[in-house]
Amino acid sequence: MSTLNEVKLLQSMKHQHIIIVYHSFIEESYFYILMEYAAGGDLEQLSQNMYKQKEKFSQKQLWKWSYEILLALNYLHDSCIIHCDIKAPNIFLTKKKRIKIGDFGCSRVLNPAKMYIKDEVGTTVFLSPEQVNRVGLYDYKIDIWATGCCLYYLATFKPPFNGSAGLPQFVSAAACYERQSFANLSYSILNEEPDELCSDYSDDFKDMIKK
């Protein structure tokens, strides 16, 4: 999706958990976007800080963020929009740590008569089984799969599927992909189960991520 189309899409969306775009304009060949400021940074930055401090997100906090992310996705999907790249760096926070989903550069607007997309988009380690299996048609489910991967990442500080042994405990999605082949990653997504979450998290929370 072009930058201009992304901005038009963002300007059309009004939801408490989606970054607001207030205005855009072109001046001296530069394209400017005036958008809501995410004072709390993003979940990737916060995860890095938590890992460095040897801390973990509480289950209560992750339940809250799960709810807010899914509220935003429900709004998008009702509007025939697939985000296509749900991951920690694209989920921003307000000063009060409320979720604001942003970065719609990979998003797709579905034709209500077809309700699927054909092109492959998203962050490699968060791709769904149908994407790595190259089924060819994808729908809203890829956002739900990526959300589960993202929540697992927030709970463990590593992707659920990385296709490579010996990775450090904290590893970004990009760094993970650089250290393994797509074939190994595909096999992991299609055939393996992620490591179990630690006992700090309840069975209900673990089941939610698995679902």
Residue of 85, 139, 200, 203 marked catalytic: 85
Cα-based angle 85, 89, 95 (whole degrees, multiple of 5): 125
Q: Catalytic annotation on 85?
A: yes
User: In sequence order, what are the residues at sequence separation of 6 or more whose Cβ sits closer than 8 angstroms to the Cβ of residue 77?
Assistant: 140, 143
Instruction: Kindly state the tokens that stand for 200.
Output: 């700090």
d(CA 151, CA 133) in angstroms, rounded, equals 23
Task: Give just the sign of the alpha carbon dihedral 117, 123, 129, 134.
Answer: positive
- Long-range pairs of 162-169 with CB within 8 A, sequence gap ≥ 24: 162/125, 162/188, 163/187, 163/188, 163/189, 169/51
Please name the helix (run of DSSP H) or strand (run of DSSP E) that holds residue 36, with its range, or none: none
Work out the number of other CB atoms within 10 angstroms of the CB of residue 34. 11
Cα-based angle 9, 87, 83 (whole degrees, multiple of 5): 25
Q: Is 105 helix (H, G, I), strand (E, B) or coil?
A: coil
Positions marked catalytic: 85
